[in-house]
Structure 1
Amino acid sequence: MKKLPGFTCMALLVLGAASVRAETPPSSPPQAPASHARVKRLKVTVLSTMLTDLKGLGEWGFAALIEADGHRILFDTGANPDTVLKNAPLLGVDLSTVTDVILSHNHGDHTGGLVTLRRELAKKNPAALSRVHVGRGIFWSRVSASGKSGEGNSFLAARPRYEATGGKFIEHSEPVELFPGAWLTGPIPRVHPERNWSGKGKVQTPEGLVEDTLPEELALVLDTEQGLVLVTGCAHAGVINTLELARARVREAPVLAAIGGFHLFDADEKTLAWTGGKLREMKLGYLSGAHCTGIEALHRLRELTGLERATSIVGSVGSSFELGKGLEPLKIAR
């Protein structure tokens, strides 16, 4: 288990040049000593998703700003190049002081804004969005799910354009503490058969061409005194697989909040019942289901977990979760 002590410029610039690499995660999450650090102040604000309130642009995509104990991280960058760029100032959010980005996986609805955001924000601050944390496998070649010839991983074309701006990619293969109490999961072991992906694509791994299960997918876990807060882009690896990894590698604590896309929009009742039951066992306190969660799926999970309208919302552009205050759904999803 690795730890990055704060976002010190020297440490991360060296790390960004070399990349963090390790062996492929085991099939089940090993136990490890818990960190004693806890996040004291936390706010997560959605910057890209389908539903929007009085301000902002909606799209099939996801992005969120995480503000924790003085650290600011952009989690995913939306689909269209300028969605987050336009939404942020409408919401009173200045992204020019954000140096670090997390990309949950290679899909364009999570990576599409990266290059545009970096280029535009760097005009104000050369360090803006200059470091991008990714999971091992995000740069692997894909065979298109549609069967068309050519490269199926559109993010490969964005890589040189981003690096040409002076930005660095930091590749992770295991859980890492980005700053005290904030953990990046690294690629997530598939312990339970949560098949939250199309099953049509193929990925070229070091072991050969296999089904593309989005092996690079990672999530962010923030450890607070009240419990764990999960931020995820699509949960292709499964929200339960993700949370079980977090509870094994960070701390076996209740899940205070789960925020992001959970790819349950076409899940059947059996899948939703199992997922809701597991979340209830983990004592889920708040749920903000945005992007690919599905509105009906979100409402069913609300019932299954015993949550209420105030503690379980459809995530919209500008909606937020704040430690000590809970969810702010804005008017459209209240």
Structure 2
Amino acid sequence: MCDASTAAPGDVLAAAPRTAPGEAVDPIALEPVDEVRITTLVDNVFDALLTGDDHVKRVSFGAGAGVRAPQFEGGTTNVGLVAEHGFAALVTVRRGDRETSLLFDTGLSPDAMVNNADRLGADLSGIQAVVLSHGHFDHAGGLAGLAGRRTGLAAMPMVVHPYLWTRRRLAVPGGDPAELPTLSKRALETEGFQVIERRQPSLLLDNAVLITGEVDRTTDFEHGMPPPHQAWDGAQWRHDPLVIDDQALVVHVRDRGLVVLTGCGHAGAVNIVRHAQRLTGVPTLHALLGGLHLGGPAFEPIIGPTVTALTEMAPALVVPGHCTGWRAQHALAATLPDAWVQGSSGTTYLLTT
């Protein structure tokens, strides 16, 4: 498992910075914050035995109230949190004594995110916006549960890329193509979401949170999805390597640097971080969290140059989750042992000045 963390001779060259072609929408005046708390509401893993510290808060099997289970004395049992192949995070930023929050992705199933939030005692009624990293259903399924909690409330802003609504499918050779669930804009608006479509960067929460918009693809190794991932262009199915609606969330922690949160990281972890640095003019990566999409045979060959580039950035915290894959997890843990932290549903990461 250490092989993946050893850079091949070409890895360093492949991971070298390149100038992004064309014009950029920069600089972005991203206001620094005193603190950001990121609570992973849904991830692929839940481990009740993980330990935390002053900056990483874990939850155990005792999270929330006991649930009914007549097979136990007293009729109840303790539960932990739901883990599923999806991602959702509650992001809270603080400047001085003012705190504001938003949701970044909502998980796979309708109930996992809201149930986990309940068990954590996290109040979702106070969030200011919802951001979807891209249109894949394992990041948007929890919108149904969230909508069920919002009856009679004011419209909730939802920031998305306009290609979020793209029909997609997986056409693996030798099997029948499987179309993926596609979000309905009309249904979301009917449920009280105010859909805001942007290809360019967006500043939210009083200019304290940056949503990257489309990410410049500047590395020569982050090629995106393999040929079986296809999109409907209105006339036919075509290979969709870029997942162009992929975007990340960025916060600048004062005197520390950038905190970058990804959903799947389809644009490539290195592309995303460099794009955030370019947009903001902040050179330091303080933390990288979220899905890095390095699992499986199509992506494992780029683990080496990805780890090489991230090592050069020297982040203080790396929490790969969701679709990162176990080989990449081991490579990052071996190469960045002081920064790497195991992700888990329900974990809160505190990043402060």
Aligned residue-pair number = 292
Q: Does 1:291 align with 2:322?
A: yes
Q: Which residue of 1 aligns with 2:198?
A: 172
Note closer, same or farther for the CA distance 1:200–1:322 as it changes in structure 2 (3 Å cut).
Answer: same
Specify the code of the residue in structure 2 equivalent to 1:32: D
Shift of 1:312: 1.2
Q: Does 1:190 align with 2:217?
A: yes
| 2:284 corresponds to which of 254, 263, 282 | 254
Note closer, same or farther for the CA distance 1:209–1:303 as it changes in structure 2 (3 Å cut).
Answer: same
Whole-Å Cα distance in 1 between the matches of residues 158 and 346 of structure 2?
A: 23
Alignment check: 8 A CA contact 1:136 1:187 kept: no
Q: Does 1:238 align with 2:268?
A: yes
Whole-Å Cα distance in 1 between the matches of residues 105 and 234 of structure 2?
A: 26
Whole-Å Cα distance in 2 between the matches of residues 205 and 71 of structure 1?
A: 38
Shift of 1:210: 3.9
Alignment check: 8 A CA contact 1:106 1:138 kept: yes
Whole-Å Cα distance in 2 between the matches of residues 195 and 317 of structure 1?
A: 29
Residue deviations 1:63-106, cap 9 Å, x none? 00000021101110000110001100111111111131111111
Q: Secondary structure at the match of 1:247?
A: helix
Whole-Å Cα distance in 2 between the matches of residues 270 and 59 of structure 1?
A: 26
Whole-Å Cα distance in 2 between the matches of residues 165 and 31 of structure 1?
A: 33
Residue deviations 1:282-303, cap 9 Å, x none? 2211011111112331121122
| 2:227 corresponds to which of 195, 199, 209 | 199
| Structure 2 counterparts to residues 9-28 of structure 1, below 5 A | 27=21
Q: Does 1:155 align with 2:182?
A: yes
Q: Which residue of 1 aligns with 2:103?
A: 74
Q: Does 1:37 align with 2:52?
A: no
Q: Which residue of 1 aligns with 2:71?
A: none
| Structure 2 counterparts to residues 78-97 of structure 1, below 5 A | 78-97=107-126
Alignment check: 8 A CA contact 1:115 1:161 kept: no
Residue deviations 1:193-222, cap 9 Å, x none? 313424313224589864212111111011
Shift of 1:32: 2.4
Specify the code of the residue in structure 1 equivalent to 2:310: L
Note closer, same or farther for the CA distance 1:172–1:148 as it changes in structure 2 (3 Å cut).
Answer: farther
Whole-Å Cα distance in 1 between the matches of residues 309 and 23 of structure 2?
A: 17
Q: Which residue of 1 aligns with 2:66?
A: none
Alignment check: 8 A CA contact 1:51 1:316 kept: yes
Gaps of 5+ in 2: 1-19, 49-60, 62-79
Alignment check: 8 A CA contact 1:29 1:245 kept: no
Q: Secondary structure at the match of 1:132?
A: strand
Q: Which residue of 1 aligns with 2:342?
A: 314
Which stretch of the first structure deviates more once superposed, 194-203 or 68-77? 194-203
Shift of 1:110: 0.4
Q: Which residue of 1 aligns with 2:16?
A: none
Residue deviations 1:136-186, cap 9 Å, x none? 311133355357579x35223x43322112212111111122132311000
Greater relative contact order (CA < 8 Å, ≥ 6 in sequence): 2
Q: Secondary structure at the match of 1:287?
A: strand
| Structure 2 counterparts to residues 222-233 of structure 1, below 5 A | 222-225=251-254, 226-233=256-263
Whole-Å Cα distance in 2 between the matches of residues 200 and 220 of structure 1?
A: 28
Note closer, same or farther for the CA distance 1:182–1:99 as it changes in structure 2 (3 Å cut).
Answer: closer
Residue deviations 1:92-127, cap 9 Å, x none? 1111111311111111110111122112x213x613
Q: Does 1:215 align with 2:244?
A: yes
Percent identity of equivalent pairs: 30
Q: Which residue of 2 aligns with 1:279?
A: 310
| 2:90 corresponds to which of 61, 65, 75 | 65
Alignment check: 8 A CA contact 1:28 1:190 kept: no
